Amino acid sequence: MSEGQGSKSLGPGAIERPALANETGDYWGSDVMALMLREIGLPYVALNPGASYRGLHDSLVNLLGNTEPQMLLCLHEEHAVAIAHGYAKVTGKPMGAIVHSNVGLMHATMAVFNAWCDRVPVVLLGATGPVAADKRRPWIDWIHTAADQGALVRNYTKWDDQPNSVAAVPESLLRAYKMATTAPCGPVYVCFDAALQETRLGDLPKLPAAARFKPPAPAAPDPAALAAAAAMLTAAERPVILMGRTSRDEGDWDRRLKLAEMLGAIVLTDPKTGASFPTRHELQGPPAGANPSTEACAVLRDADVVLSLDWVDLGGALKTAWGGDEVKSKVLLTSLDHQLHNGWSMDYQGLPPADIHLAVAPDIAVAALLPLLQPRAPGWAGRTEAASSESAEDASPNVITPVSLAAGLRDAVGGRATCVIRTPLAWGGHVWETNHPLDLLGGDGGGGIGAGPGMAVGTALALKGSGRLPIAVLGDGDTLMGITALWTAVHYRIPVLIVVANNNSFFNDELHQDRMARQRSRPVANRWIGQRIADPEPDLATLARGQGATGFGPARRADELARTLRQAIDCVEAGGVALVDVRVEPGYATDMALGSHFTRRG
């Protein structure tokens, strides 16, 4: 990456340095595991401890000195994986997460599912046993031993393993890393038998070098299919590009821009998958949203050629646009995603028609197509209005809406480079302007609420020292489920700004109850019951302070918001962790869940 993310040390005060024992010449099974974690290049392991991996824990501290990888202690396993998820979203590279036996893995599962759906690499490690029953301590070792622990996450990891000997460990970890980082990327899980970790080895076996087990070079498109794709695009009169799961690389960003400009194509972007195209570019089409908006559907219907760069749920988007009729546009699909699909999860989404499918990563396809295309007249793209900001709605200084929160945040950050993670459900397509692939990182992939704080910390970890200000804009429900992830950021001096769009509600679901009541002619006024987080209202700033972070707010008016955000940014720029509680009017700019426009409580 271009901005120096992913440094392997967190700097002074942030590493817990052990006193190292003298070299004894006496090695243990877990020493091989720890040395291989260093060899494959994991910079950090986020963890919550447990006896099942006390051997490995000892090796990481007392053999490796708690560096490369450095431990990041987390207060919940879900945070450990969410941190790794956020880190990978920025760097494209995995870090490790270690979770204790079956119970720790159970806590981690939602975050693993999120990482899986978001197609990010995570090397998840765990432990069980002793597998040999005769070695188990009474009671606790029995409840924390599972015959097939990997089964807990097998349906949403690319691979899992439980090496059955110390000699099998290096190969297992080399394969894990290779699989996690081969596109399409995803989490992998390796489980270490507690007894193997605690086996005395004496001498250290010779360990393999990771350099010979790297992931393969990315596949190139089939030449005939590529030529046909170029011909299809050249002949297109009304092309549309759907920017889906693209990379965070600046070169890829520039090539996508060039492609759109050469084709004069209208570009639709998806806030779920992060910044992929400049929001204010004249080719940017209307906001697409999670469920394609009416305007986006109209553009899709008009298109003669649709180029999908791994758009999440292309099948669903086309189906919505064509209202179930046969899709008349030609469809050019670039995606490797089919390689991950299994029968357990439907995260593969609707099956899209594809006249040509280039089975490569989307940015590889763009790079391969560019030399085969000629620049063309602007064509039909001039027809669409340039992307309009959604911040034009009523701006009362006495009330903060999710959209005016975005405007206030934009004013407060001024010209700073920022990186926004997650964003509240209330933000529609173009609420946050993007001009760089790191401006906006998108969502959690799996729709698992509670991931926000952990992902924010992982993102901030990856950005530490880059000069980019990490900002997470989270719902209050999301924040409350994951709030103790902040402790890890404070403890390891990871600066991050958390802005909570606090509507005192699991508001997305109030809208669902609203819809149900209307459909059934029942009292809509009851939609808040079982949804509103009030009486008492959790004090978010105090919850942040309780973990050593700086808590601000609640800010209820535009002037309070401006002042509070300025103070919070100063705090983060001085190395702090800041949370700002912003009371927002319940309402959505673009109702992503239900597909309608701005909805207010009332």
Chain residues that interact with ligand TPP, rule: CB under 6 A? 110, 424-426, 447-450, 475-478, 503, 505-509
Find which of Mg ion, ligand TPP, none residue 424 binds, CB within 5 to 8 Å per kind.
ligand TPP
The Cα 247–Cα 275 span in angstroms is 9
Minimum CB distance to ligand TPP smaller for 112 or for 169: 112
Nearest position to ligand TPP, beta carbon: 475
Minimum CB distance to ligand TPP smaller for 425 or for 568: 425
Q: What is the dihedral of CA 237, 338, 292, 392, to 10 degrees?
A: -90
Of 417, 498, 499, residue with least CA distance to 463:
417
Q: Among residues 329, 335, 401, 503, which is the contact residue for Mg ion, using CB under 5 A?
A: 503
380 part of the interface to Mg ion, by CB under 5 A: no
Find which of Mg ion, ligand TPP, none residue 18 binds, CB within 5 to 8 Å per kind.
none
In 100-147, which ranges are E strands? 122-128
Shortest spacing between CB 477 and ligand TPP, in angstroms: 3
Of 437, 309, 307, residue with least CA distance to 362:
309
Of 484, 425, 469, residue with least CA distance to 568:
469
Shortest spacing between CB 451 and ligand TPP, in angstroms: 8
- Could you report how far apart the first and last alpha carbons of the chain are, in Å? 47
The Cα 118–Cα 98 span in angstroms is 20
Run of H or E residues at 226 = helix 223-235
Cα-based distances in Å from 189 to 93, 127, 206, 346: 16, 10, 24, 21
Find which of Mg ion, ligand TPP, none residue 509 binds, CB within 5 to 8 Å per kind.
ligand TPP
Minimum CB distance to Mg ion smaller for 153 or for 480: 480
Q: Contact, 459 vs 89, CB < 8 A? A: yes
- Per-residue string for binding with Mg ion, 203-242, x by CB under 5 A? ----------------------------------------
Shortest spacing between CB 532 and ligand TPP, in angstroms: 10
Which residues are within 8 A (CB) of 483 and not within 5 positions of it... i.e. 6 or more apart?
Answer: 453, 540, 543, 544, 547
The Cα 45–Cα 125 span in angstroms is 9
Shortest spacing between CB 502 and Mg ion, in angstroms: 7
Find which of Mg ion, ligand TPP, none residue 442 binds, CB within 5 to 8 Å per kind.
none
Minimum CB distance to ligand TPP smaller for 425 or for 440: 425
475 part of the interface to Mg ion, by CB under 5 A: yes
Shortest spacing between CB 529 and ligand TPP, in angstroms: 14
Shortest spacing between CB 533 and ligand TPP, in angstroms: 7
In 313-426, which ranges are E strands? 330-334, 356-358, 418-421
Find which of ligand TPP, Mg ion, none residue 104 binds, CB within 5 to 8 Å per kind.
none
Cα-based distances in Å from 512 to 445, 506, 509: 21, 11, 5
Q: Among residues 286, 352, 446, 477, which is the contact residue for Mg ion, using CB under 5 A?
A: 477
The Cα 486–Cα 483 span in angstroms is 6
Minimum CB distance to Mg ion smaller for 459 or for 503: 503
Q: Contact, 286 vs 217, CB < 8 A? A: no
Minimum CB distance to ligand TPP smaller for 141 or for 476: 476
Minimum CB distance to ligand TPP smaller for 193 or for 478: 478
Q: Contact, 197 vs 31, CB < 8 A? A: no
Find which of ligand TPP, Mg ion, none residue 318 binds, CB within 5 to 8 Å per kind.
none
77-91 vs 452-463: helix crossing angle, rounded to 10: 40
507 part of the interface to Mg ion, by CB under 5 A: yes
Shortest spacing between CB 561 and ligand TPP, in angstroms: 17
| The pair of three-digit structure tokens given for residue 303, joined into one six-digit string | 């298109």
Shortest spacing between CB 78 and Mg ion, in angstroms: 19
Of 184, 108, 148, residue with least CA distance to 341:
184
Shortest spacing between CB 424 and ligand TPP, in angstroms: 5
Find which of Mg ion, ligand TPP, none residue 252 binds, CB within 5 to 8 Å per kind.
none
Shortest spacing between CB 559 and ligand TPP, in angstroms: 23
Minimum CB distance to ligand TPP smaller for 111 or for 368: 111
| The pair of three-digit structure tokens given for residue 480, joined into one six-digit string | 């409350």
Provide the 10 A C-beta neighbour count for residue 588.
25
Sign of the Cα pseudo-torsion (244, 248, 251, 257, in order): positive
Interacting stretch for Mg ion, rule CB under 5 A, among 198-206, 476-484, 561-569, 589-597? 476-484
Find which of Mg ion, ligand TPP, none residue 514 binds, CB within 5 to 8 Å per kind.
none
Provide the 10 A C-beta neighbour count for residue 78.
28
Shortest spacing between CB 593 and ligand TPP, in angstroms: 7
Interacting stretch for Mg ion, rule CB under 5 A, among 51-59, 321-329, 395-403, 500-508? 500-508
Find which of ligand TPP, Mg ion, none residue 431 binds, CB within 5 to 8 Å per kind.
none
Shortest spacing between CB 435 and ligand TPP, in angstroms: 26
Phi-psi region of 415 (alpha: psi -120 to 50; beta: other; left: phi over 0): alpha
Of 320, 314, 282, residue with least CA distance to 298:
320
Minimum CB distance to Mg ion smaller for 5 or for 503: 503
**Burial of residue 397 (number of CB atoms within 10 Å: 0-12, 13-18, 19+):** exposed
Shortest spacing between CB 500 and Mg ion, in angstroms: 9
Minimum CB distance to ligand TPP smaller for 64 or for 589: 589
Minimum CB distance to Mg ion smaller for 334 or for 599: 599
Q: Among residues 476, 510, 514, 591, which is the contact residue for Mg ion, using CB under 5 A?
A: 476
Instruction: Estimate to the nearest angstrom the gap between the alpha carbon of 277 and the chain centroid.
Output: 18
Cα-based distances in Å from 61 to 17, 19, 64: 8, 9, 6
Minimum CB distance to ligand TPP smaller for 31 or for 77: 77
| The pair of three-digit structure tokens given for residue 416, joined into one six-digit string | 């700073």
Instruction: Estimate to the nearest angstrom the gap between the alpha carbon of 127 and the chain centroid.
Output: 25
Minimum CB distance to Mg ion smaller for 367 or for 483: 483
Residue numbers of the site for Mg ion (CB under 5 A)? Answer: 475-477, 503, 505, 507
